Every structure is written in structure tokens, then in C-alpha cells.
Amino acid sequence: MNPSFSASLLDEIAPLWDRMQRTRVFQALLSDDPVGIELFQIYLIESYHYAKHNAQHQAVAVMRADVCNRDFMRSALQHAIEEVDHDQLALRDLERMGFDRREVQRSLPLAETQGFTAFMYDWVLRQNPMGRLGYSLWAEGTHELFPKVIARLKSKFGFTENRSISFFTVHAALDARHGLEARENIDQFCVTADDRQAVRIVAHTSLKLFIGLLEGMYEHYLAVQAGAPLLRQLPPA
């Protein structure tokens, strides 16, 4: 029996998935080596900046005139609803570490974060919106890493409660179901060559861009260690 398209695509992007786990951010957070908590804080800040758009560009995908499959629309909108407030999890975790919520909201995302988000909006607004499922395919699969990440964050930084790292603990529970739904949706709704090519392009490109985002986080961490402010602000006019 031939593997499904979603299974074949997961095999295609497996090298990128491995590369993501080898980024300096993941290596630093998951290793036994000491690392400043600023790296974790930067991860949450940038996660806030891109996660606040996830529900929006998921919902925008169903607004395109060429999307007329009602089952897809219902699935995409339900997923969008469940993505609402995930950015607030990152904000609450940062608040518990002493950050002012308003300062985080006013901070300037990394260029890599802005590029990643812009790519997602561009694809659903100007390209084939079905491609958005290519992002969900791998992004909702990160739950496999979360138990290890949660355990390491607790031991490395002394967190004693799951609610202190809610951005990870909530996703660990929710993304297992979302990952399965993403695979089912791809196989059910992406049946034309154009739709499958769109999903393939977005899966590869969004994961490559996210790897770049992780590296950008680490570069900012190095700058912070050298004295740069952790929260980036627009320069004065």
C-alpha cells in the first residue's frame, strides 16, 4: 500500500526537522550545558510575535474566492479558533518572570520573525491558501519534542509548575490532536496537483524560515549577553 501524501511529505521534510533540532537554540535549551534564561525569554518573546498571527492567517485562508470546500472551511476555522490566545500564553509566562506585558507587546520582532510571518500571509493572500496546511503539518508536530523540552526547562531554570511554562505545556496537549488533524486534512482536501504542490512548497519553505528564526533568536541572545537590550525597540525618529 502506497503511503499517503502527508506521510510522504513528512519523509521529505525529515532532514529539515532534524536540522531544526540541531539549531543552537534547541541544543542550548536541551543540553546539560549552562545557558542564560535570557535565551528562553527571547524564545517566548518571538513566539508571542509570530503566534499572535497564526489564528489570523489560518482564518484568512478561507476567505479566498477559490476556496469553496465547506468541510475544509469548517476545519480551518475551528483550528483558527483554537489558535486564538496562544500568544497570550507566551505573554503570561513572561509576566511571571517579571516582564511588563505592554513592553513585550510594543517590542520589535526580529527580522526573521517578521519574514516568517510575512511569508505565511503572502501565501494565503496571494498564492494558494491550501498551502497553509504545509505549515500545520510540521508546526503541529512539535508536540513530540515538548515532554523533553518541558522536563529540561524545569531542571535548567528551576520552574516547578507547568503553568510557569504554559506556552509549552498547553501546546504539548493540544498539538498532538492538531498534528493528526493536519495530516488528515491534507490527505482529504489536497487532491489536485496544484494544491499538493502548494502544501509541499509551504512545508519546506516555512520550516526553513523557522530554522532561520531560531538562529536569529540565538544571535540576539549573544547580543544580549554582550549588553544589548533584551526587548528590541524601534530607534528614535
Q: Does domain 20-225 have CATH number 3.10.180.10?
A: no
Whether the predicted pLDDT of 110 surpasses 70: yes
Q: How confident is the model at residue 8 (pLDDT cuts 50, 70, 90)?
A: very high
Measured in Å, how far apart are the chain's first and last C-alpha atoms?
Answer: 62
Task: Say if residues 23 and 211 touch (Cβ distance below 8 Å).
Answer: yes
Residue 236 has a pLDDT of 64
Over residues 191-196, mean pLDDT: 93
This prediction has a pTM of 0.91
pLDDT in tens, 96-106: 999 999 999 99
Q: How far apart are CA 91 and CA 97, in angstroms?
A: 10
* CB neighbour list of residue 138: distance below 8 Å, 6 or more residues apart: 10, 13, 16, 17, 203, 206, 207
Residue where the block lists cell 525569554 = 41
* Domain boundary assignment for the chain: 20-225
Q: What is the mean pLDDT of residues 102-131?
A: 95
- Checking if the pLDDT of 183 tops 70, the result is yes
Q: What per-residue confidence (pLDDT) applies to 214?
A: 97
Residues 48-64 pLDDT 10s? 999 999 888 888 887 76
> Vertex 102, ends 101 and 106: CA angle to 5°?
120
Residue of 169, 171, 180, 210 lying closest to 21 (CA atoms): 210
